[in-house]
Amino acid sequence: MQFQNAGSHICGGTLLDNTTVVTAAHCAYAMEPREDQQSGGVIAAVAAIIKHPEYSRRKSPQERFAINDIAIFKLLTPIGETDNIRFATPSKDDGDLEANSTAIAAG
């Protein structure tokens, strides 16, 4: 999933089901509401943005990462699977992470 502002890519996200996208919390600050479709794709309205309760933006350029930089976007408009759109598949690994483990994801 791609988030755009005035036709420019600003963030990506992963579609978990037809109304749930996981992305970086900082992406919620970079968007202005608009409908702009270049070609193909699907436009979906966002009903709610749920940021990690302990999300902390970088306070200076020297800080390398934001803390707990994750958010869920709940879509008002459901998106169905197609030949080009698929929901993320959870790992089949049954291993559990230890409490307070550090995780890094890209997307």
Helix (H) or strand (E) holding 21: strand 20-23
Closest C-alpha to 47, from 74, 10, 14: 74
Note the pLDDT of residue 38: 52
Determine, yes or no, domain membership for 11: yes
Please report, for the domain that includes residue 33, its CATH number.
2.40.10.10
Give the whole-angstrom CA distance, residue 76 versus residue 44. 7
Determine, yes or no, domain membership for 65: yes
Give how many domains the chain has, as a whole number.
Answer: 1
Note the pLDDT of residue 98: 82
Look at the block and give the residue holding tokens 């483990």: 101
Determine, yes or no, domain membership for 45: yes
Determine, yes or no, domain membership for 36: yes
Q: What is the pLDDT along the chain (107 residues), one digit of tens a residue?
A: 666 666 667 788 899 999 999 998 888 875 555 555 455 677 788 899 999 998 887 766 677 777 888 999 999 989 999 888 899 887 777 677 788 887 766 55
Determine, yes or no, domain membership for 24: yes
**Residue-range definition of the domain harbouring residue 38:** 2-75
Note the pLDDT of residue 18: 95
Note the pLDDT of residue 19: 95
Query: Which sign, positive or negative, has the C-alpha torsion 83, 84, 85, 90?
Result: positive
